[in-house]
């Protein structure tokens, strides 16, 4: 078993844990780059005669500290996150379900695809005023905006994932006479899983964008109201701090989705691939 | 007994049709090892997939033990050229796939899978994923998966075609040993290599192209059980050289026809 022995060692190497420590050089470079950015920000802001419009980094951090202790800040986030969670859950679940339906059934695809093509070609921001006119600015309207931002990415990615399962694998499944239901569970679903997970991750990113766009463009509740208030009052350190928290929220959401993706695709050579 | 009776196949796509097989007739005796060999485009893989029930003939029938093949069935198992393992499933799950398709409970199917993996020399690799294995080892899984369903007929589509020469030789000899040691199954084996066909087969069906058809059916004169050393014997070398010459001649004629067609098409343009 010549090839057997050669590969045994490779297999073991592959099985070794690939946990990355914070002290790894690539991580240190990234952390360093961020620190350098903060330093440049601080120095530039200090060099200005007046930093009403451009606060120093340390002033922003100070304002952030204040915000984190302010119940008004947390109430604003609560108001913003409730529609986000509803819209996000709806876009993820409906996106996967309709994506699977469209991927499995030609008729479903023919029914859905004109709508998908139309909405996918449209910048979703344009729909925000339409949704507001139709539904007002309540929970439903705000959830709907988040939903519209996330949904199409998830749906399209899911149906494409099914379409791209290789003909070889379909033929192999057929040759062993596997029934349709079992084949869906054991072949189609895991085969489409990389695309589904990528769709969920990108869709989550877009849902976060939807949440922010809604807040900033039109709605004077939640975090959007905070932003409007600080902007009107020229309280720029607070304004910057709020934006900073939004960015952090987006980052954490994406990081969690990437974790989930890595876990779901742990069989892959490079789970956190494209 | 597999009987191929007057099988023809015409593929048509976008108004153009291509005659893949014309009036192919031959038989494969039960428990015998038959190779299908011929230039590219002679329809040997198409013919094998027809036996597997994955492609229907345009006319003619294929019968196995007197029953017409109309679809895939538990009496046959296919081994693929590019292995076709599920990348998200480990070796054990892949090996048990055919049994899982039939609804065999997990414990029972994994027990069978383990014993088949032992037969192909993969004990200890049950929980590796396909991408952690070499091509040769992946094809061992492919063979174990086919054997696990205990088919009466084993259909192999150029199973060693994508392996490097050394791995290929090891696999040929292991298959020879495995096939001779276990209760022999009727086997149809598609290949490009005359040495491979001769070493493994009782009967070689030589096919020709345009349209795909049987050119000649040759009985392999070497008695079983065959040993690895057979490939070095003068008789073996002489036999395969003779057969290879025949194949080469067919390939040349085919190329000449192709060149002529190209020239004619060129004239039209």
pLDDT at A206 (0 to 100): 92
Neighbours of A259 (CB within 10 A): 11
Size of interface A-B (CB pairs under 8 A): 87
On whether the pTM is more than 0.80, the answer is yes
What residues in B contact A168, CB-CB < 8 Å? 80, 82, 84
**ipTM reported for the complex surpasses 0.90:** no
Percent of chain A with pLDDT over 70: 89
Average pLDDT of chain A, as a whole number: 84
**CB-nearest partner of A269 from B74, B100, B131:** B131
What is the C-alpha separation between A32 and A30, in angstroms, rounded? 5
What is the C-alpha separation between B254 and B248, in angstroms, rounded? 10
Average pLDDT of chain B, as a whole number: 89
Do strands B203-208 and B33-37 pair parallel, antiparallel, or not at all (unpaired)? parallel
Least CA distance to A180: which residue of chain B? B101
Task: Express each pLDDT in A2-36 by its tens digit.
Answer: 444 444 434 334 444 455 566 677 778 888 998 99
What is the C-alpha separation between A218 and A224, in angstroms, rounded? 8
Task: Express each pLDDT in B151-167 by its tens digit.
Answer: 999 999 999 998 999 99
What is the C-alpha separation between B131 and A10, in angstroms, rounded? 11
Closest-CA distance, B261 to chain A, in angstroms, reads 31
**Strand ranges of the sheet holding B213-219, from the earlier edge strand across to the other edge:** B76-79, B153-157, B186-191, B33-37, B203-208, B213-219
pLDDT at A17 (0 to 100): 46
CA dihedral A231, A232, A235, A236 (to 10 degrees): 30
- Count Cβ neighbours within 10 Å for each residue of A35-57 and write b for 16 or more, e otherwise: eeeeeebbeebeeeeeeeeebbb
pLDDT at A46 (0 to 100): 86
Confidence category of residue B256, pLDDT binned at 50, 70, 90 = confident
What is the C-alpha separation between B150 and A91, in angstroms, rounded? 46
Task: Express each pLDDT in A205-225 by its tens digit.
Answer: 999 999 888 887 766 678 888
pLDDT at B61 (0 to 100): 93
Bigger pLDDT: A1 vs A219: A219
What residues in A contact B89, CB-CB < 8 Å? 190, 267
pLDDT at A20 (0 to 100): 55
């Amino acid at each position: 078993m010549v090839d057997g022995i050669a590969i045994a060692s490779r297999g073991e190497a592959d099985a070794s844990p690939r946990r990355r420590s914070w002290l790894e050089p690539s991580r240190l470079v990234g952390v360093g780059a961020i620190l350098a950015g903060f330093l440049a920000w601080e120095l530039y802001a200090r060099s200005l005669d007046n930093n009403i419009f451009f606060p120093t980094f340390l002033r922003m951090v100070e304002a952030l500290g204040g915000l984190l202790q302010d119940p008004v800040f947390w109430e604003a986030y609560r108001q913003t996150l409730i529609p986000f969670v509803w819209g996000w859950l709806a876009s993820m679940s409906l996106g996967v379900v309709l994506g699977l339906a469209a991927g499995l059934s030609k008729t479903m695809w023919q029914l859905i695809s004109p709508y998908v093509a139309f909405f996918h070609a449209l910048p979703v921001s344009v729909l925000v005023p339409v949704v507001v006119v139709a539904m007002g600015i309540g929970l439903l309207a705000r959830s709907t905006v988040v939903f519209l931002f996330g949904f199409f990415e998830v749906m399209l990615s899911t149906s494409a994932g099914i379409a791209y399962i290789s003909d070889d694998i379909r033929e192999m499944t057929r040759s062993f006479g596997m029934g349709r239901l079992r084949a869906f569970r054991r072949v189609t679903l895991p085969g489409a899983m990389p695309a589904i997970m990528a769709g969920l991750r990108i869709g989550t990113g877009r849902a976060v964008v939807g949440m922010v766009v809604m807040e900033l463009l039109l709605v004077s509740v939640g975090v959007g109201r905070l932003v409007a208030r600080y902007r009107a009052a020229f309280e720029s350190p607070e304004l910057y701090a709020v934006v900073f928290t939004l960015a952090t929220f987006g980052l954490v959401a994406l990081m969690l989705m990437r974790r989930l993706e890595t876990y779901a695709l742990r069989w892959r050579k490079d789970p956190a691939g494209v | 007994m597999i009987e191929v009776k007057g099988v023809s196949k015409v593929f048509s796509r976008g108004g153009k049709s291509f005659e893949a097989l014309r009036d192919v007739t031959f038989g494969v005796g039960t428990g015998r090892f038959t190779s299908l060999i011929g230039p590219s485009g002679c329809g040997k893989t198409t013919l094998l997939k027809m036996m597997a029930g994955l492609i229907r003939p345009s006319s003619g029938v294929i019968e196995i033990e007197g029953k017409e093949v109309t679809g895939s069935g538990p009496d046959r198992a296919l081994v693929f050229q590019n292995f076709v393992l599920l990348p998200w499933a480990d070796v054990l799950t892949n090996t048990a796939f055919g049994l899982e398709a039939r609804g065999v409970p997990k414990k029972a199917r994994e027990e069978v899978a383990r014993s088949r993996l032992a037969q192909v020399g993969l004990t200890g690799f049950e929980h590796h994923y396909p991408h952690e294995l070499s091509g040769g080892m992946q094809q061992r899984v492919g063979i174990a998966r086919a054997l696990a369903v205990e088919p009466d007929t084993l259909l192999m589509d150029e199973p060693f075609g994508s392996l490097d020469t050394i791995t290929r030789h090891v696999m040929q000899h292991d298959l020879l040993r495995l096939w001779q040691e276990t209760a022999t199954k009727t086997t149809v084996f598609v290949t490009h290599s005359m040495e491979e066909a001769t070493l493994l087969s009782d009967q070689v069906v030589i096919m020709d192209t345009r349209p795909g058809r049987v050119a000649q059916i040759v009985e392999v004169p070497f008695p079983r059980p065959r040993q690895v050393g057979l490939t070095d014997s003068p008789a073996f070398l002489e036999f395969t050289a003779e057969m290879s010459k025949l194949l080469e001649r067919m390939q040349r004629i085919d190329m000449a026809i192709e060149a002529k067609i190209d020239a004619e098409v060129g004239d039209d343009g």
